[in-house]
Amino acid sequence: MPSITVDGASIPAERGEAMREAMQRAVCRVVAIADLTHDIRRFRLAVESGGPFEFSAGQYARVEFAPGIHREYSMANPPHDSILESHVRRTANGLASSHVFTRLAIGDPVRVEGPLGTSYLRERHPGPILLAAGGSGMAPMFSILESALHLGLTQPIRLYFGVREARDFYGEDQLVTLAARHPNFRYDVVLSAADAAIPRFRMGMLHEAIAADWADLEVAKAYLAGPPMMVEAVSDLLRERGVALRDIHADAYYTEADKARLQPAHGLVAPGLNARSETVRAATAGPGATVITSRLATDEYAHDEFLR
């Protein structure tokens, strides 16, 4: 059994971890709606039939609001909560996000199908945990974070939350409370497009902040979610800092436009279309682009590399 060294102690490396993958179809009802920022809205769902809806922290589901109006959304709640929570960012002229912002009301029925994705919390990993989120990519990070701390994981857990401006930052109360209760958890909020420095925030791109803090991340596990370009930049940086491909777990939030660009040109199953795929690096455009997806095969990762 290979081992890694953390704080001078030799610890067995990752063995198989349980992942929820049995497909469930739940009929839910909207029980709460709230604006988290000017363009991110949260809704909460109570499962009425087909439940309990079981998933692993970090996974996502196909959420259907009405016939023909469905998209993938990450669960923002930890698996031990019975109420499902999603954070949806408004996309200009977006079918599902417009529905969430203009029509969705308390009491509406919503169908949830899943869980999907393999970017879930590896509970047995003993090394540091690095979480990197952009925008509504914070949703699965809240799930992973709440779950890891609830499980009593004691290794360093470090969150980097990248947003454009201060008004895009959300979840502060939750993060402050968790950091106060758990000395092993710290977070940084990184603004990429702020006009001037603001004391409690860092400035720049997410991957630059991580690069400035960490020279070597060899024994860490990383979970990434958000815009594909951010996921790609952070993933590249982590590889440079020594994180093995099998320790980078990512969901790039591809939109229909991204999928349309990727699929015909590359003949690929874009991440997010396949229940068992996760992106570790994905270029969304351009000749010579490399797309790598990982598929979970029992306990082992098989990395399929598609080159063109």
Task: Tell the smallest beta-carbon distance from residue 266 to ligand FAD (Å).
Answer: 15
CA distance 42 to 56: 20
Burial 27-66 (b: 16+ CB within 10 A, else e): ebebeeeeebbebbbbbbbebeeebebebbbbbbbbbbbe
Q: What token pair was written down for 113?
A: 């199908």
**In the complex, least distance from residue 211 CB atom to ligand FAD, rounded to whole angstroms:** 25
Q: Which amino acid is at 148?
A: A
CA–CA distance, 23 with 34 (Å, rounded to integer): 28
Task: Choose between 194 and 224: whose C-beta lies nearer to ligand FAD.
Answer: 224
Q: Between 186 and 261, name the residue whose CB sits nearer to ligand FAD.
A: 261
- Residue 142 Cβ vs ligand FAD, minimum distance, rounded to whole Å: 10
Strand 277-282 with 290-297, pairing: antiparallel
Nearest approach, Cβ of residue 48 and ligand FAD (Å) = 22
Give a three-class secondary structure readout of 211-235: HHHCCCCCCCEEEEEECHHHHHHHH
Nearer to ligand FAD, 178 or 262 (CB): 262
Distance, first Cα to last Cα, the chain: 36
CB hemisphere CA count around 135 (13 angstroms): 20
Output 86 or 192, the one with its CB closest to ligand FAD. Answer: 86
Report, in Å, the least distance between residue 215 CB and ligand FAD.
31
Tell me which residues touch ligand FAD (CB under 6 A).
Answer: 60, 71-74, 86-89, 91, 93-97, 117, 136, 139, 251, 253-257, 260, 272
Q: How far is the CB of 162 from ligand FAD (least distance, A)?
A: 15
Q: Give the DSSP H/E element, type plus range, for residue 266.
A: helix 256-266
CB of 63 to ligand FAD, least distance (A): 8
Q: Which is nearer to ligand FAD, 170 or 254 (CB)?
A: 254
CB 130 within 8 A of CB 188: no
φ, ψ (nearest 5 deg) of residue 214: -130, 115
Nearer to ligand FAD among residue 61 and residue 219 (C-beta): 61
Whose Cβ is closer to ligand FAD: residue 73's or residue 170's? 73
Residue with smallest beta-carbon separation from ligand FAD:
94
